[in-house]
Structure 1
């Protein structure tokens, strides 16, 4: 993500290499921490196979890291990796992530279950989406503030639902609105404007990548959104296959 500050369209191979390495590290974290303790496991990071040992679930095997790992795998078009991530039980993420006393907004677990249901075509997808919608309503008693839920989470969820429905018009509209909302949120204060997290909205970029690929394969689906928040060469997978990942 740091590289897209200097290379916002991801036109350079070096930018792609950075995103791939970040994806590999995040995936390796889950590969190692979902492998039984001391059992050998091989992962590729930065063009090299690393021989490691499983650790079993740790605090880092949490929902937040899972989402980042998933979005990166989708953006890098690593289907095997993101499908593997979707096989990790949500309860394991909850138990590991909250084992040290940390708490997450309950929404995040329904959100992950919805994503897993979409990728793996599970019959629980609709129920999980309904629960995610209910839990995404701003609530002062929950961890995330109302502005975060309204301007970041809710637009992401709406975009995702329209992707699931393969509703071309509504997907493009909701994605454009979500990107505008992202910009508004991340430029509202100087602190946010200087936060690297606001440079690229990874959930929206991941959904855009799903949609871009779907538009090439499905005649009834069309992708029409352009934005500086969607690095062109990541979206269009310009560097995909340039080297083993």
Structure 2
């Protein structure tokens, strides 16, 4: 069964007017990491915002500049964990935005948390970066938990089981089903999770789609993906303010899972992706730009 999920558009004229300025600011932000990596998390979120803006102007990601913005966001988010994995004060060479940057390792910091890990993971998945993906999956969940605690950041307990499920799946380790089941259980507000509509419309749909992908159930995956995209649109159009929020341009987790399903079909022809949506940028989804330049 084929699904077609409509998307809403974020129409901000200033984005078009400042397109070149955003590209220049992205380069400046990335260059600033060479002076100090302590604000790396802020740099990562800013660079990702520029990538989101690029998608409002180029919804299919058909322009090379959009892919450059997208891969730069992936590289900076993954650099957070490269810097956290190395001994504090040592030099780490990171490829970011067409250049190799020599950065100073921070050791685990407040930004070494489950939220940033998830963004880094899904971005790496959409960029088909197997090396970075596996490195993230080797990153200890206990370090994510402790870093968040030291930074005064509170995450629902489900987040750590969600990370563990994804790590186990990628590395083909035991525990995927168990961690996923626990994550779904703990993300239920009736079990004490905080987050309201975010849990029902943004968090659970990702887990549900992944459950069916991991189980190899193509029909159920497509249904869950379509439901998730619909819920994403519902959440981000519930108020006029949300409808203009840049976070509503693309559901990163669902896009990443759709990319996984698209690629899985290349080796398992019986597993097909039957969902189309403006929320799934065509040239990111089909990997059309992958390999265009070194990342």
User: Does the pair score TM above 0.5?
Assistant: yes
**Under a length normalisation based on structure 1, what TM-score does the superposition of the two structures give?**
0.96
1: distance between equivalents of 2:80 and 2:151?
18
1:38 to 69, 85, 89: 89
Structure 1 residues 138, 188: CA separation in 2 closer, same or farther (over 3 Å shift)? same
3-state secondary structure, aligned to 1:226 = strand
Aligned twin of 2:237: 187
Q: Which of 147, 151, 157 is 1:106 aligned to? A: 157
TM-aligned CA deviation for residue 139 of structure 1: 3.6
Which residue of the partner structure matches residue 199 of structure 2?
Answer: 149
1:141, distance to aligned residue in structure 2 (A): 4.3
- Answer yes or no: is the 8 Å Cα contact 1:172–1:224 preserved in 2: yes
2:184 aligned with 1:133, yes or no?
yes
Aligned residue in 2 for 1:222? 272
Q: Retained in 1: the 8 A contact 2:187–2:193?
A: no
CA contact (8 A) 1:104 1:143 kept: no
Residue matched to 1:13? 64
Mind listing any 5+ residue stretches in structure 1 that lack a counterpart?
none
Contact 2:59–2:278 (8 Å) recurs in 1? yes
Query: Distance between the aligned counterparts of 1:165 and 1:16, measured in 2?
Result: 31
Which runs of 4 or more aligned residues in structure 1 lie more than 3 Å from their structure 2 counterparts after TM superposition?
A: 139-142
When the two structures are aligned, how many residues end up with a matched partner? Answer: 244
CA–CA distance in 2 between the matches of 1:29 and 1:65? 8
Which one of 241, 248, 271 corresponds to residue 198 of structure 1?
248
Partner of 1:212: 262
Verify the 8 A CA contact 1:44 1:50 in the aligned structure 2.
yes
Q: Report how far residue 191 of structure 1 moved.
A: 2.1
1:67-111 Cα deviation digits (max 9, x unpaired): 110110000110110110111011100111221222111111111
Residue deviations 1:134-166 (CA, integer Å, cap 9, x gap): 102124843311x21111111111101001011
- Alignment match of 1:238 (pick from 288, 292, 295): 288
Q: 1:166 aligns with which of 208, 213, 216?
A: 216
Deviates more, 1:3-12 or 1:125-134: 125-134
1:118–1:125 Cα contact (<8 Å) kept: yes
Instruction: Let me know the Cα RMSD of the aligned residues.
Output: 1.2
Q: 3-state SS of the aligned residue for 2:95?
A: strand
Aligned residue in 1 for 2:53: 2
| Unaligned 5+ runs, structure 2 | 1-51
Q: Which moved more, 1:200-209 or 1:131-140?
A: 131-140
SS state at 1:98 partner: helix
